[in-house]
Amino acid sequence: GNSVTQMEGPVTLSEEAFLTINCTYTATGYPSLFWYVQYPGEGLQLLLKATKADDKGSNKGFEATYRKETTSFHLEKGSVQVSDSAVYFCALSASWGGNTPLVFGKGTRLSVIA
Amino acid sequence: NAGVTQTPKFRVLKTGQSMTLLCAQDMNHEYMYWYRQDPGMGLRLIHYSVGEGTTAKGEVPDGYNVSRLKKQNFLLGLESAAPSQTSVYFCASSDRADSYNEQFFGPGTRLTVL
């Protein structure tokens, strides 16, 4: 079946450090890939997405590239801020047409200290 | 637009009590979902709906029932609450016209069953 595996946290970084959160997936066909972010006490928000191989999603300084050859969608940011402290979820949508629910990874908690 | 709203935000139940969680969306989305979030488990799908009057089971449906009588509302019911149902519950919706199934989340309901 379809699944998403992301690195376990928590991840603690100093402000301005480089961030990588690894995500790999298993899916049939050509899934769409997403990163969602959950700030403390809130619901999930879409951070970025990529819908085909070699696509790069980007938003708020975060980037992730859809790598079909390695079935990966790693999240990166060059210089993190305290305000980036949150839980990050990698997810995939395996069906074109929207009637297949998303499959989520278990989430990675990021804490950024000043 | 309010997006996706959830009622209530917090609730404490005793074992065996019943309750209904309400999810409402004002984006005219066809698809709606209920997830639960537990530490170390990520988000797990409970039930979902691909249209008014339809529902389907997700990954962890036992102990829950749902109804979608109106397109904008998706109700999650617990007939006889158990401590194992202590969790944070999230509702989400997505647009059938969105081929990539971006989901929009509510702020969550924190439920404690004693």
Average pLDDT, chain B: 92
In angstroms, what separates the C-alpha of B16 from chain A's closest C-alpha?
A: 27
B contacts of A57 (beta carbons < 8 Å) = none
CB contact (8 A) between residue A98 and residue B31:
yes
CB pairs under 8 A between A and B: 62
Q: Does B90 sit within 8 Å of A44, measured CB to CB?
A: yes
Of A95, A101, A105, the CB nearest to B45: A101
pLDDT in tens, A7-29: 888 999 999 999 999 999 998 87
| Residue A96: pLDDT over 60 | no
For B63-113, write each residue's pLDDT tens digit. 999 999 999 999 999 999 999 999 999 999 988 766 667 889 999 999 999
Q: List Cα–Cα distances, A44 to A31, A104, B13, B47, B107, in angstroms.
A: 20, 11, 25, 18, 8
